[in-house]
Chain A
């Protein structure tokens, strides 16, 4: 079964609103990563947070990690129509050595 599961499966918001996506996982991890996938394209890395970090920012993105609850959230602030995509969390057991395990994704639709 998938290591990470995103919630909600789909999210529709208006441009300018914030979008929050959650990810839960089952086993201990070394790092957690978020990726974006536009329709018909490959995945693009957004941010990596290590197990000893609690929060990380990158531009309009904010990621939190709670290892005690085995969960993470991705917040996109002031969303734009161009943010419309699927977002996946992926868990890593150790950096660079083992493959990432991806969740099923959240499909985000930002209405202009």
Chain B
């Protein structure tokens, strides 16, 4: 079974530029999550999708972050414009109804 795929693995941009991350969840997983993990901290939820609908985006900084999950499969997370404090690893995860999350390898963002 293929795991959660994420790209790119690494991205370096300057502040005020934009960036987009892509995630392909495990086939058949209805729920998809984007987490932000700052160095030395645990993952923090940004947004949760159930199929192509948003379940929870209460911690998403909506003035600069946006996410979509077209057709209830792949998802894209965008940051525009980026700030220095957005430097982090962006983790995508998916789950079925068992409760456990399956994570991708993450996309490491450095904002200069």
Decide if A and B are genuine partners. yes
**Count of inter-chain pairs, beta carbons less than 8 A:** 65
Number of chain B interface residues as a range: 20 to 34
CA distance A103 to B98 in the complex (A): 21
Question: Contact partner of B42 among A41, A42, A88, A92, CB < 8 A?
Answer: A88
CA distance A90 to B42 in the complex (A): 9
B6 (CB) vs chain A CBs: closest residue: A42
Is B18 part of the binding interface, using a Cβ–Cβ cutoff of 8 Å? no
Is B61 part of the binding interface, using a Cβ–Cβ cutoff of 8 Å? no
Q: Contacts of A45 on B, CB cut-off 8 Å?
A: 100-102
Contact A43 B97 (CB under 8 A): no
Within 8 A of B (CB), among A32-91: 33, 35, 40-45, 48, 88, 90
Is B103 part of the binding interface, using a Cβ–Cβ cutoff of 8 Å? yes
Interface residues of A (CB under 8 A from B): 2, 4, 31, 33, 35, 40-45, 48, 88, 90, 92, 95-105
Interface residues of B (CB under 8 A from A): 4, 31, 33, 35, 40-45, 48, 55-56, 91, 93, 95-106, 108
Q: Can you identify 18 A-B contacts, CB atoms within 8 angstroms?
A: A2-B42, A4-B42, A35-B101, A41-B105, A42-B103, A42-B105, A42-B106, A43-B91, A43-B103, A44-B103, A45-B100, A96-B31, A96-B96, A96-B98, A99-B55, A100-B101, A102-B35, A105-B41
